[in-house]
């Protein structure tokens, strides 16, 4: 299995990455996905621009590198990340085959 981005998610991340590089003057390798304990359902997703580390698993979708540490990979293997826009704003969504349930807002999950 793998971790993938939809085309919409990759376009939004590319836009945000360019902005982050312009603001920080730092060169990031890609977006780091992580799983953080907490949230309504037990675990929350984390996303941040970062540099790759030696033991990271690295995936690519539409030219964007996705970096994942081995502990988070257990929970993120097979996830698909999308970006949606709506009347109330936009955001990233996670389709996670490892999730047994999510909270109402979709930002946390349980396994």
Residue spans of the domains in the chain: they are 4-110
What per-residue confidence (pLDDT) applies to 105?
A: 53
Helical H runs in the chain?
7-24, 70-76
pTM above 0.85?
no
Which option is the CATH number for 4-110: 1.10.10.10, 3.30.70.260, 2.60.300.12, 3.10.20.30?
2.60.300.12
Alpha-carbon separation of residue 45 from 26, 92, 102, 103, 109 (angstroms): 24, 10, 11, 12, 8
Across the chain, what does the average pLDDT equal?
Answer: 86
Q: For 61-90, what is each residue's pLDDT tens digit?
A: 999 999 999 999 998 999 999 999 887 778
């Amino acid at each position: 299995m793998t971790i993938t981005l939809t085309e919409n998610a990759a376009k939004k991340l590319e836009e945000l990455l360019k902005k982050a590089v312009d603001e920080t003057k730092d060169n990031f390798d890609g977006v780091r996905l992580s799983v953080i304990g907490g949230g309504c359902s037990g675990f929350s997703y984390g996303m941040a621009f970062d540099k790759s580390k030696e033991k990271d698993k690295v995936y690519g979708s539409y030219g964007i590198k996705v970096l994942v540490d081995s502990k988070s990979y257990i929970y993120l293997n097979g996830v698909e990340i999308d970006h949606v826009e709506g009347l109330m704003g936009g955001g990233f969504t996670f389709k996670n085959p490892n999730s047994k349930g999510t909270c109402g807002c979709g930002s946390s999950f349980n396994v």
